[in-house]
Amino acid sequence: MTEAGMTRKKFDLDAMFKPQSIAVIGASSNFTKLSGRPLRFLKEFGYAGKIYPINPNYREIAGLKCYPSLAAVPGEIDLGIVGMAAAAVPAIILECAAKGVKAVTVFSAGFAELGTEGQRMQEELRQAAWEGGVALGGPNCAGLVSVHENATATFASAMDRGALLEGPVSFVAQSGALGTYIFAAAQDAGVGFNYWVSTGNEAVLGFADYVSYFVKQESTKAVIAYMEDARNGEAFKACAIEALEAGKPLIILKVGASEAGTKAAASHTGALAGSDRVYDAVFEQCGVIRAHDVEDLFDLATISMARHYPGSPAVAIMGISGGAGILMCDRSEEVQLRVAALTTETVEALREVLPPFASAVNPVDVTAELVAVPGLLKRSMEIVLADPGIESLVIFLGLQLHTGADLARDIALTAATTEKTVVVNWIAPPAQALSILRENKIPVFPDPARGIRALGALVKYSQRRQRYLNRRQEMRNGKGASTLSQPGTNQPSIETVNHIIQEARQQGRTALTESEAKEILGLYGIATPKRHLARNGGEAALAAQELGFPVVVKIASADITHKTEAGGVRLGIQSSQEAAQAYDDLINNAMAYNPKAKLDGVLVEEMIGGDGTHDGVQVVVGFKQDARFGPVITFGMGGVFVELIRDFSLRVVPLDEPEALAMIKETKAYPLLTGYRGDAPRDIAALCQVILSASRLAQDFKEDLAELDMNPVLVLPEGKGIKAVDALIVLK
């Protein structure tokens, strides 16, 4: 079990988030100070548990008896709040352990974020907490809030604004300041909270521990997060899958997508947090919804409150304005929602109730009659919601100072009678209408585009979750296991690969030769062109004859990795004489290019599809290592496509066949592979297997192999498989 896994088993997070008693250690009577503010908040928000201020300098603070030490407290302490200078904290944690304090949140800064000495102190802290069984949040964090329990163990300024909006969203923030601001603005946007936590340096409890805990709470329906660095890739994936399993959307605003942002993040967090594109891949694989800015985070939290999640992108749009209908169509297309055709019955039924100048097709424009005729919206909604072809309904309204509340009630009543998703986009809504919709769990957005974008994300989430559940079911039925790229080719193969790697290492090489690489691919079931290693011109001529013309010859040397640059490749050899001549030329070129290179001879290979463009579609398959998530499989179109338009897809291992297929479909390679412009369809099934084999190889040798690059892989017509024409394997 990983340490992260152990953390979650070992510590009692109920004590942290549902504390019966809270000790404010080093409590201050100055309520503007770090150690005074939590005390004030706990009193102001009416925390119902016991509050123990600890400070030898006071008898009493704010009417509460103040204790000289933790040991002096008569009862049990669930949660301790620690805000004193860093140097004093490790000793406090030992005291907490001695007293049996179950959890602490440490505000104090001055640990790992400040360099070597801070790291040492943080390690001390970690050990003390771990050994003493104290669930430690922080250090260098802004604390936590349990809104349902009025437990405001924080100094966050969002609390200064008074009453908190309660709700089913929990929030994990990897930044105290930004987490606080987002908390406040989310409340203004109507997002009600269950738990909020600032993770700080994550010395003991980490991001994944909190997510995992929140997902388990009945009262939490969705978890939002601000993230700078997953830190522990495995723990992160595990908590994301827990959330997916539970059907509770995990929505993450992850920063560091740009070059400048990544650089800033590295200097801010002191760590390279892995490639942002790999995060996208992990989020996709684990069903995490990615938010791209702060409002996006609110919108995704809002849509998560919907009573029903649509399983298909078929959406109906209905509103009071034709223009808004067009705008929502535009945005729907961008997020792959389908403005579905309504059935003839639906259209006819709508025509009966709508005025003649209204639009009874999707997008439905009820026109201003919607306001003038009471019940018209309700009736129109019922008709559209009854259409079997649609899964969600987006309603657009604006203003309606006088009739707004009635319209909101109609929407809520109608939504309650359906299992379809109802979303409302309402520009400048009256406050009462807004309240009615929110009370009735109708997601409502202040802008026609925002509701559409959020719904698009929800549909993708639902579909991803359905795929996950289907696969889990298959695994349970014993069917799907074989398709998941679990480690493992057979044992003798493993030994052969090990032998090749060891030999290369003994020779001080960091890259395998093309022959070695292709041998390994063969062991993993990846087809390569037939080949012979020729050690002189005569052998080259003979090998060429055996393979059949045309052939390709390439220089074989572990010291020459850029063969083309070295004049070490010749294509389209048509005769034995040419092959013998090519041998001499290549050896000469190589000697001129790098006189010190040890030359093994030349590799004579069958030539697949002439110059490589006629018979096969060229793609690139490989893997590389990510700092956070380990081996990452890459797939892309060959040639300029990958480099010029960066058209490639990524997944972390392990993967299964549907995921491999999804990788292919994400790229522009897919239309070319399915038979572009009358071309023959290609062997996509074989290509999926190549991706899975690469995944297995990456897992089997994750300690040894840094990188695999098969470029190109030729995908032959359906039924004819693939050929990995060139391959490079780099050792760690």
Q: Which parts of 430-469 interact with a copy of itself (CB under 8 A)? A: 446-450
Residue that has been written with the tokens 């808004």 in this structure: 324
Nearest approach in angstroms of CB 359 to a copy of itself is 6
Residue 68, φ and ψ in degrees, nearest 5: -70, -25
Site string for a copy of itself, 365-394 (x = CB under 8 A): x--x--------------------------
Cα distances (Å, whole numbers) of residue 571 to 76, 582, 590, 630: 80, 10, 16, 37
Nearest approach in angstroms of CB 420 to a copy of itself is 19
Nearest approach in angstroms of CB 142 to a copy of itself is 10
With contacts defined by CB under 8 A, name the span among 72-80, 321-329, 515-523, 592-600 that binds a copy of itself: 321-329
Please identify, using beta-carbon distances, which residue of 85 and 428 lies nearer to a copy of itself: 428
Q: Could you say which residues in the range 666-725 bind a copy of itself, by CB under 8 A?
A: 668, 671-672, 676
Q: What is the largest CA-CA distance in the chain?
A: 102
| Residue from the set 28, 275, 285, 332 that interacts with a copy of itself by CB under 8 A | 332
- Per DSSP, the residues of 549-594 read SSEEEEEE-TT---TTTTT-EEEEE-SHHHHHHHHHHHHHHHHHH-
Return d(Cα 470, Cα 313) in angstroms, integer.
Answer: 19
Q: Could you say which residues in the range 176-195 bind a copy of itself, by CB under 8 A?
A: 177-178, 180-182, 184-185, 188
The yes or no reply on residue 246 touching a copy of itself (CB under 8 A) is: no
Q: Are 258 and 250 in contact (CB under 8 A)?
A: no
Please identify, using beta-carbon distances, which residue of 48 and 428 lies nearer to a copy of itself: 428
User: What residues contact residue 9 under an 8 Å CB cut-off, 6+ apart?
Assistant: 1
Nearest approach in angstroms of CB 694 to a copy of itself is 25
Please identify, using beta-carbon distances, which residue of 329 and 706 lies nearer to a copy of itself: 329
Going by the DSSP 8-state scheme, the letter that residue 361 receives in this structure is S
Return d(Cα 213, Cα 239) in angstroms, integer.
Answer: 9
Residue that has been written with the tokens 């709040």 in this structure: 81
Q: Sign (positive/negative) of CA torsion 70, 75, 77, 82?
A: negative
Please identify, using beta-carbon distances, which residue of 80 and 206 lies nearer to a copy of itself: 206
Number of residues near a copy of itself (by CB under 8 A): 77
Return d(Cα 32, Cα 598) in angstroms, integer.
Answer: 73
Nearest approach in angstroms of CB 111 to a copy of itself is 12
Q: Could you say which residues in the range 260-299 bind a copy of itself, by CB under 8 A?
A: 260-261, 263-265, 267-268, 292-295
Q: Could you say which residues in the range 631-670 bind a copy of itself, by CB under 8 A?
A: 640, 644-645, 647, 668
Helices 233-246 + 3-10 axis angle, to 10: 50
Site string for a copy of itself, 80-109 (x = CB under 8 A): -----------------------------x
Return d(Cα 638, Cα 518) in angstroms, integer.
Answer: 19
With contacts defined by CB under 8 A, name the span among 212-220, 358-366, 414-422, 527-535 that binds a copy of itself: 358-366
Please identify, using beta-carbon distances, which residue of 125 and 337 lies nearer to a copy of itself: 337
Going by the DSSP 8-state scheme, the letter that residue 610 receives in this structure is T
| Residue from the set 398, 630, 658, 717 that interacts with a copy of itself by CB under 8 A | 398
Return d(Cα 547, Cα 404) in angstroms, integer.
Answer: 80
Please identify, using beta-carbon distances, which residue of 257 and 494 lies nearer to a copy of itself: 257
Cα distances (Å, whole numbers) of residue 497 to 101, 109, 500, 597: 52, 49, 5, 24
Q: Could you say which residues in the range 112-171 bind a copy of itself, by CB under 8 A?
A: 113-114, 157-158, 160-161
Return d(Cα 651, Cα 623) in angstroms, integer.
Answer: 9
Nearest approach in angstroms of CB 297 to a copy of itself is 10
